[in-house]
Amino acid sequence: MECPACGHEFLAGQDVCEDCGQDLTHVGLPVPKTGSLHELILEDPISQLNAPPPITLQARDTVGRAVELMRKHRYGSVLVVTEEGRLAGIFTEGDLVRKLSRMRRPLESVLLDEVLTPDPQALTDDSTIAQALHCMAVGGYRHIPVVRDGQPVGFVSIRGILTYIAKNAL
């Protein structure tokens, strides 16, 4: 911020200008801008992200298979579905590190059912980017399934959101 008397830069909350001694207690805090980035995040639905199709496996599939597919597709997660195709869980890179680091078994012998995160929070195509970011921040995760009628149709990742913002927030 600038001192109205001399133009010297000062930090918000300072009472007196260090350069000229002007009283700064009457100078208000700057109003946050609410431009295109703000609108983009609050209003755009996650369908605008063009969420990639998910990798889906079943609970009886192995972690080895999940890791193989995650590596091949460069995904950070796989969605675990029931035999009817409904979302049952998610297995992420974080699960791999946190849960499997304690196991001393080959990945091909560990079933997803043993290490997945059950009943993950999911969004729908009309959920906003702000809702996705909120869920990620509050929940502490980087991937959120996108479902339609209980069946996974995609997933949102923090990388996908940041890429979208970088391309569209100018």
Instruction: Give pTM, 2 decimals.
Output: 0.74
Query: Is residue 108 predicted with pLDDT exceeding 90?
Result: yes
Structural tokens at position 52: 């990639």
**3-class DSSP state of 168:** helix
Per the CATH hierarchy, to which homologous superfamily does domain 42-168 belong?
Answer: CBS-domain (3.10.580.10)
Q: What is the pLDDT of residues 73-98, one digit of tens each?
A: 999 999 999 999 999 999 999 999 88
Return the pLDDT at 146.
95
Spatial neighbors of 2 by CB under 8 A, at least 6 apart, are: 8, 9, 10
Q: b/e string for 30-42 if b means 16 or more Cβ within 10 A?
A: eeeeeeeeeebbe
Among 71, 47, 62, 42, residue whose Cα is nearest residue 134: 42
